[in-house]
């Protein structure tokens, strides 16, 4: 699994930063969190095929998070027949999408499935054989969702056990991976003994919100928490006014969630150098890094 931070600015693009978007590549699936203006270009620079985008998860409908959406959908739809994209977002998403598609001549071969979500707590809304997606309501000036990607745990074959019991490679090993016992050359091979459990990875995405305890539940035990840190705590009143978090609050959230790593992003354009934000967060949550455009994280 690879996570690519495509943009790290809030409000507007700067010379150093594009506005918000994050891409997760996982076993052929491409999941895009938000789609700011310039996202297509950032994907090109990162070497990401636009055709890989299968799901788009919108946090909220402020322009700096959706300004690149119509262009990306045009590009995807003009490439192949039968392409489909699932779009998920907060209350109002279906209405906004209808208006967006009428904003230009949208004559492309693309099946769009738009889903509007109003979670009461941390709710699961999507599942495959390998992973699950969750969302929760955040506390912003407009309806806003936080998201988490949760890889399912899996069983790997214990090769030492197979060698000891003279079990050869073959399709029968798939049943063991599924947790099922097998009969091999008259001997019962127990899945519990022949395999071991590998815990899945978790990535949480929390943008544009005042500090809220439900976000810590969404990000609980995350391997990576990608979280807004729009302001330094010296501007806490401004953060409260616009319902954003300071770097200090982002670190408090990561600590409450027992996350393993905190990646700060969504920086106010006033901070050309974000080191003061990173240092503030590190006093509370040491394993903190500042995101930069095109940053890649392998899990």
**Residues marked as catalytic:** 64
Task: Identify whether the C-beta of residue 66 lies closer than 8 Å to the C-beta of residue 34.
Answer: yes
* Residue 200 per-residue DSSP state: P
Residue keyed to tokens 């798939």: 174
Calpha distance 282→296 (Å, rounded): 21
Q: Which of 15, 80, 19 is nearest to 54 (CA)?
A: 80
In degrees to the nearest 10, what's the CA dihedral of 151, 126, 41, 278? Answer: -50
Q: How is residue 54 written in tokens?
A: 């299968």
Catalogue the E-assigned strands of 63-200.
Answer: 83-89, 110-116, 123-127, 131-137, 145-151, 154-157, 182-184, 187-189, 195-198
Task: Identify whether the C-beta of residue 184 lies closer than 8 Å to the C-beta of residue 177.
Answer: no
Tally of CA atoms within 13 A in the half-sphere of 94 that contains its CB: 7
Radius of gyration of the CA atoms of the chain, in A: 21
Buried b (16+ CB within 10 A) or exposed e, 71-93: bbbbbbbeeeeebebbbbbbbeb
Calpha distance 168→162 (Å, rounded): 7
Q: How is residue 149 written in tokens?
A: 């990607």
Compute the residue count for the chain: 299
């Amino acid at each position: 699994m690879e996570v690519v931070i495509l943009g790290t600015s809030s409000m507007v693009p700067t010379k150093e930063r594009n506005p918000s978007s994050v891409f997760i590549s996982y076993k052929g699936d491409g999941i895009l969190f938000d789609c700011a203006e310039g996202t297509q270009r950032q994907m090109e620079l990162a070497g990401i095929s636009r055709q890989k985008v299968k799901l788009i998860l919108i946090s909220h409908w402020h322009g700096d998070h959706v300004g690149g959406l119509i262009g990306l959908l045009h590009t995807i739809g003009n490439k192949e027949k039968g392409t489909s994209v699932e779009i998920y977002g907060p209350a109002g998403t279906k209405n906004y999408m209808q208006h967006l598609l009428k904003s230009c001549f949208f004559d492309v071969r693309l099946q769009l499935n738009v889903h509007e979500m109003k979670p009461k707590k941390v709710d699961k809304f999507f599942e495959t054989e390998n992973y699950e997606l969750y969302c929760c309501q955040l506390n912003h000036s407009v309806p806003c969702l936080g998201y988490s990607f949760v890889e399912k745990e899996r069983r790997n074959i214990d090769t030492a056990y197979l060698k000891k019991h003279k079990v050869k490679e073959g399709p029968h090993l798939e049943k063991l991976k599924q947790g099922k016992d097998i009969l091999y050359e008259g001997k019962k091979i127990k899945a519990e003994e022949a395999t071991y459990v590998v815990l899945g990875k978790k990535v949480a995405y929390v943008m544009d919100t005042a500090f809220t305890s439900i976000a810590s539940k969404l990000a609980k035990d995350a391997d990576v928490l990608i979280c807004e840190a729009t302001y330094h705590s010296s501007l806490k009143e401004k953060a409260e006014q616009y319902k954003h978090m300071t770097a200090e609050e982002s670190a408090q959230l990561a600590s409450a969630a027992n996350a393993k790593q905190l990646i700060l992003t969504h920086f106010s354009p006033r901070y050309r150098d974000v080191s003061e934000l990173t240092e503030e967060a590190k006093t509370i949550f040491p394993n903190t890094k500042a995101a930069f455009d095109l940053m890649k994280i392998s899990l």
